[in-house]
Amino acid sequence: MSRLPWSHLLFSSLFIFIVSCEYNSDRHIENASLEINNFSQTISADTVDRYEVVKTEEEWKQLLSSGEYRILRGRGTELPFVNEYYDNEKEGFYYCRACGQPLYSSETKYKSGTGWPSFWEPIKPSVVQEKEDNSFFMTRTEIVCSRCGSHLGHVFSDGPEPTGLRYCMNSQALIFKEMDLSSVDIRELEVINVE
């Protein structure tokens, strides 16, 4: 009986190793795809159950400008100091740009010096939701609209009294409607049409 040369044994072992790695890799890719699909279905079901206003990403893209979409649906941030409502001092209310829900009053807006429109509280706690945001190697508290889940900005604990909070919002996530606050009951504010 003849013996196989050492190089043949090494080549055969290497071939078997590569084939088995590819087979396992394909199985891992298959499993990962299944996990991603299951995760996407979970997110979709969760979103449907959680928010009153639900749209497909294509519908959001048709409703919003590219900048608004990047911020509201992509959790982006606009440039400081050069955005529309940073230095707006008019009297009125700020609404969610994505769904029209009333969010903030000009009575609670203040100049924070950060370059974004800042408020010390929303018109009522139920109009916004807090989420943990671990992007950019830090932990922050993201603020989303409770009606459609769109990203509005972040809240920080360095604001003025009486709350000590700074709701730092993106102008492109908001629509401002000028009005005389003395003639409006906040409890009677309605959703505005954004389409």
Phi, psi of 141 (to 5 degrees): -110, 110
> In three state form, how does the secondary structure of 89-130 look?
CCCEEEEECCCCCEEEEHHHEECCCCCCCEECCCCCHHHEEE
| CB-CB neighbours of 69 under 10 Å | 19
Contact 150, 56 (CB under 8 A): no
The answer to whether residues 186 and 105 touch, using CB atoms and an 8 Å cutoff, is: yes
Tokens representing 87 are: 């230095």
H/E stretch holding 195:
none
Q: Is 148 noted as a catalytic residue in this protein?
A: no
Residue 20 CA to residue 2 CA, distance in Å, equals: 28
* Structural Rg of the chain based on CA atoms: 26
Q: Residues with catalytic annotation? A: 168
